[in-house]
Amino acid sequence: MRARGHRAVAVLCLVLAFSATLPIPAHAKKSRLPKRFDRDVLCDACGATVVELDVMITKTEKKKGRGAAIADAMDAVCDDVYRFTAYDFPPPKIQKGCFAILEAFADEIETTFVKRVSVEDAKHGVCAEACEGVDQETKKKTSGTAVEETYVDGAPYDGTADGEL
């Protein structure tokens, strides 16, 4: 009887060990992002975080060196709420999303900037999970892209209408 029990345990261990090596389907992977956030906000916050990190790193990397500039920027990027005034959502929401993005993807973000990937490629790579299920076509502005709007007589002006300003 004892041999039978040991054999059953051994078979169970082999089955568990084998199943642990199988790839996990994409739909079954657990998201690292907090569930309490709106996906649109997280997507925009991710793009904003990448753009603002790039600005901060570019400004300081000659003085500090690339590695120190990346580390310092990652420590400070989410701290100033006013940094996020030019994005789709209110700055406090983007700031909270920035903290969530850094918590979930700090290693990927750091690696991306160490490799000197372009900002657009960085946004697509780092923000893929955050932007999953977000329809980018229906958004007025591209996620994470600062856009200045011009107003004429209180109405948005895109520069295509004829006439003088």
pLDDT number for residue 89: 96
Please give the average pLDDT of every successive group of 10 residues along the chain, which has 165 residues.
Answer: 54 47 48 83 96 96 95 97 95 96 95 94 94 73 50 60 56
pTM score, two decimals?
0.67
pLDDT number for residue 65: 95
The residues pairing with 151 across neighbouring beta strands, listed in sequence order, are: 156
pLDDT number for residue 158: 62
pLDDT number for residue 137: 66
pLDDT number for residue 164: 54
Q: Output the six-digit token pair for 116.
A: 């000197």
What ranges in 22-143 are assigned the alpha helix state H? 39-64, 66-76, 91-114, 119-126
Alpha carbon separation from 30 to 16, 26, 34, 102, 105 (Å, rounded): 20, 9, 11, 17, 14
